Amino acid sequence: MNNHSQEGLADWAGPILQGALTTLEIAVLAYAIGLVLGLLGASARLSPWAPLRGLATLYSTAVRAVPELLLIILLYYAGSQALTAVTNAMGFSGQVAINGFVTAVGVLAFVQGAYMTEVLRGAILAIPRGQLEAADAFGFSAWARFQRIVVPAMLPNALPGMSNLWLILIKDTALISVIGYSELFFTIQQAASSTRAHFLFYAAAGVIYLAMTLSSTALFARLERRLRRGQPNTEEA
């Protein structure tokens, strides 16, 4: 049984790198879509129209109260069933690999959107009321006010929360391995069981994820400094 353990980390470096790229692709796409969902959700939660407010509250509360893994499994089955139905109806069949990627992104974005809704809502509420009134007094249209005042004023407040969500998202991509889509952690699991070097490969997985999260933290810190450049230097901590 020992001739199996000849292959080691070097033989798996290629697939693992590929998996890491897939993980990053999934994370970036899911983050972008989650951001859009979060903006829509936050606007809906702050809208004057009660049914819309109720719907958005239901979305963000229910999704945040159920474990991510459970949601991911549930939505994965529901999502891939729906997607297969759509592609079959359009005359394609058997595009399981693409479907796996699309559902992985969709599921993570859906969960991410709920958390993003709350982060953005809090950040929008933290904008001093006078700034919005000033925009109205200057005759800004609703869109111009949103784009020129609300977004730039909210971003510095939202950024710590957004950075946290990005870190959560990177770590949540590992959950995709549970449903068998071949991203970083799924590849690692295959490598570990094929070489029987469990300790080595799971430690390597930890190092790769750590590299991703640490470099993201550094990037977000720079971004926040840049976004706060117009603000008075309020000494934190």
Partner 1 sequence: MDFSWLGDPFYQEYLIEGFINTLWLIAVSAIGGLALAVLVAIARLKGPRPLALAVQGFTIVMRGTPLLVQLFFFYYGVGRLLEGIPGIQDSVIWPLLRDPFFYGALTFILSVGAYSGEVLRGALLSVPQGEREAGRAFGLTPLQVFTRLWLPRAIQLCLPTLTGEMILLLKSVPLVSTIALMDLLQAANLIRDETFLVYEPLLLIGGIYLAMTLVLTLVLRQVERHFPGMQPERGRGWLPRRLPHRQREAS
Residues that bind partner 1 (CB under 8 A): 62, 65-71, 73-74, 77-78, 115, 119, 160-161, 164-165, 167-168, 170-175, 177-178, 185, 188-189, 192, 196, 198-203, 205-206, 209-210, 213-214, 236-237
Separation CA 108–CA 169 (nearest Å)? 8
Instruction: Give 91 or 235: the residue with its C-beta nearer to partner 1.
Output: 235
Nearest-approach distance from CB 65 to partner 1, in angstroms: 4
Nearest-approach distance from CB 144 to partner 1, in angstroms: 29
Which amino acid is it at 223?
L
Separation CA 230–CA 228 (nearest Å)? 6
Q: Is residue 90 helix, strand or coil?
A: coil
Instruction: Give 46 or 122: the residue with its C-beta nearer to partner 1.
Output: 122
Distance between start and end Cα atoms, the chain: 57
Instruction: Give 135 or 205: the residue with its C-beta nearer to partner 1.
Output: 205
Nearest-approach distance from CB 98 to partner 1, in angstroms: 21
State phi, psi for 138 to the nearest 5 degrees: -80, 0
Separation CA 69–CA 71 (nearest Å)? 5
Instruction: Give 150 or 184: the residue with its C-beta nearer to partner 1.
Output: 184
